[in-house]
A and B are shown apart, each in its own frame.
Chain A
Amino acid sequence: MQHSAAAQQLTPEGWLPPPPLPHHYDDHVSHANAVRFGMWLFLGTEVLLFAGIFTGYFTFRAYFPEAFDQAARHLSIVLGTLNTFLLLTSSLTVALAHHNAERGKNRNAFWLLAVSVMMGGGFLVIKGFEYHEKFVEHALPGKFFNFSEITAPGGPVFYVVYFFATGLHALHVIVGMSLLTWVAVRAWRKEFSPTYYAPVENAGLYWHLVDLVWIFLYPLLYLV
């Protein structure tokens, strides 16, 4: 039962034969290109989703510069930098997993994906500690704000932006971890080969987008 996929024979190279090609594609290259293009289109819409949040950030920053300055000083630069390191490194391991999957090295891809998922988990744990601190301080959005160390007007607005931006990003981290887990399981089953690795590539593209968003969030929230 565990090896329902193993009913199929591994090819001599050591991977499962690729799934049948949908009949409207000439070959697996045109199929892979179409799949990849679809993912890029989706990522384009994701960019526009986060663009709205960044627009809000810049707008409210222009209205309440002192509050944004004070609030940024109450975020932990150490934790933010550590999280940046985790996400950048997990992007590397995901890229390496893609590199191995497209060469049929499924075991390598599995371990690299597993490490990536763990780094994503580490990111969320650290983010959880940061959120916990904000809840204890009542440094919270809107009417829940009751944090005496931010005296300039606009403190509650900063935390609306902060929690919405990082919260939506954390949601993407969770989705990305789920996708990476799913393709890791498939790599364990040796499903990927030079003719079929689109799931690893697309899950990886999603993960890199999560990284991209954080690359902008980190300096804007923590540093400047």
Chain B
Amino acid sequence: MASTSTSHSATEHPKGGVGPLILNWVALLALTATTFGVSRLPIGNLHLPAAIFIACVKVTLVVLFFMHLWHAEGSNRIVFVVSFFFVIVLLFFVLADIATRFPLSNSRIPPMPQVDQKLVPSGMPPGMPAPTGSHTGEEGHR
């Protein structure tokens, strides 16, 4: 306790040097170029996963080295890891819901046969507005 009033005895040792920080910055810029390049590749549906993966790598670099979580006390790491875990829980269940949506009808009834809309008489029931616009063929799926 007597040592706490002096300026050096209880000093935390400053961690890391300038070099790793600058290296980290170069790596982040390289990853930014990579994410741009990957977004121009003809990889179809993989664009979104690839972009998210590269963003996660960049975030990890920032958190570990710019934000010093590499050196930090364990409690700080738990806070951040847990909050990211909860983000993943949120996204997973929301996206799992959206990805598995199905038409809200009784599945035992066979689906309506696809009818060529041009063959359907254009007359609407009384009181209904006349069909308009070009999206009528698509409306049934929403």
Which residues in A have some Cβ–Cβ distance to B below 8 Å? 11, 13, 21, 26-29, 32-33, 36-37, 40-41, 43-45, 47-48, 51-52, 54-55, 58-59, 62-63, 77, 81, 84-85, 88-89, 91-92, 94-96, 98-99, 102-103, 153, 193-195, 204-205, 208, 211-212, 215-216, 218-220, 223-224
Contacts of A51 in B (CB 8 A): 86-87, 90-91
How far is it, in angstroms, between the C-alpha of A28 and the C-alpha of B12 when the chains are bound? Answer: 9
B72 to chain A, nearest CB (A): 7
B50 to chain A, nearest CB (A): 8
How far is it, in angstroms, between the C-alpha of A95 and the C-alpha of B24 when the chains are bound? Answer: 11
- The reply to whether A216 and B55 form a contact with Cβ atoms under 8 Å apart is yes
Given A44-B79, A208-B62, A224–B48 Cβ distance below 8 Å? yes
Partner of B14, one of A52, A102, A212: A102
Q: Please report which residues of chain B, range 28-55, place their CB below 8 angstroms from some CB of chain A when the two chains form the complex.
A: 28-29, 32, 35-36, 39, 47-48, 51-52, 54-55
A93 to chain B, nearest CB (A): 9
Contacts of B54 in A (CB 8 A): 219
Which residues in B have some Cβ–Cβ distance to A below 8 Å? 1, 4, 7-8, 10-12, 14, 16-18, 21-22, 24-25, 28-29, 32, 35-36, 39, 47-48, 51-52, 54-55, 58-59, 62-63, 65-68, 72-73, 75-76, 79-80, 82-84, 86-87, 90-91, 94-95, 98-99, 135
- The reply to whether A219 and B28 form a contact with Cβ atoms under 8 Å apart is no
- The reply to whether B28 and A62 form a contact with Cβ atoms under 8 Å apart is no
- The reply to whether B67 and A28 form a contact with Cβ atoms under 8 Å apart is no
Given contacts A51-B91, A99-B16, 19 further A-B contacts (CB under 8 A): A27-B1, A36-B73, A37-B76, A37-B79, A41-B79, A48-B86, A54-B87, A55-B90, A55-B94, A88-B29, A88-B32, A91-B66, A95-B24, A99-B21, A194-B11, A212-B63, A218-B35, A220-B51, A220-B52
- The reply to whether B62 and A91 form a contact with Cβ atoms under 8 Å apart is yes
How far is it, in angstroms, between the C-alpha of A224 and the C-alpha of B98 when the chains are bound? Answer: 19
- The reply to whether A40 and B25 form a contact with Cβ atoms under 8 Å apart is no
- The reply to whether A223 and B73 form a contact with Cβ atoms under 8 Å apart is no
Query: Which chain A residue lies CB-closest to B8?
Result: A194
- The reply to whether B1 and A26 form a contact with Cβ atoms under 8 Å apart is yes
How far is it, in angstroms, between the C-alpha of A17 and the C-alpha of B135 when the chains are bound? Answer: 72
How far is it, in angstroms, between the C-alpha of A94 and the C-alpha of B12 when the chains are bound? Answer: 20
- The reply to whether B98 and A62 form a contact with Cβ atoms under 8 Å apart is yes
Query: Which chain B residue lies CB-closest to A89?
Result: B25
- The reply to whether A85 and B29 form a contact with Cβ atoms under 8 Å apart is yes
Contacts of A103 in B (CB 8 A): 14
- The reply to whether B10 and A27 form a contact with Cβ atoms under 8 Å apart is yes
- The reply to whether A58 and B73 form a contact with Cβ atoms under 8 Å apart is no
- The reply to whether B47 and A212 form a contact with Cβ atoms under 8 Å apart is no
Could you pull out 30 A-B pairs where Cβ atoms are within 8 angstroms? A13-B7, A27-B4, A29-B10, A29-B12, A32-B12, A33-B73, A36-B72, A36-B73, A40-B79, A44-B82, A48-B83, A51-B87, A51-B90, A55-B94, A59-B98, A62-B98, A81-B32, A88-B28, A91-B66, A92-B66, A96-B18, A99-B16, A194-B8, A194-B11, A205-B67, A208-B66, A208-B67, A212-B63, A216-B55, A223-B47
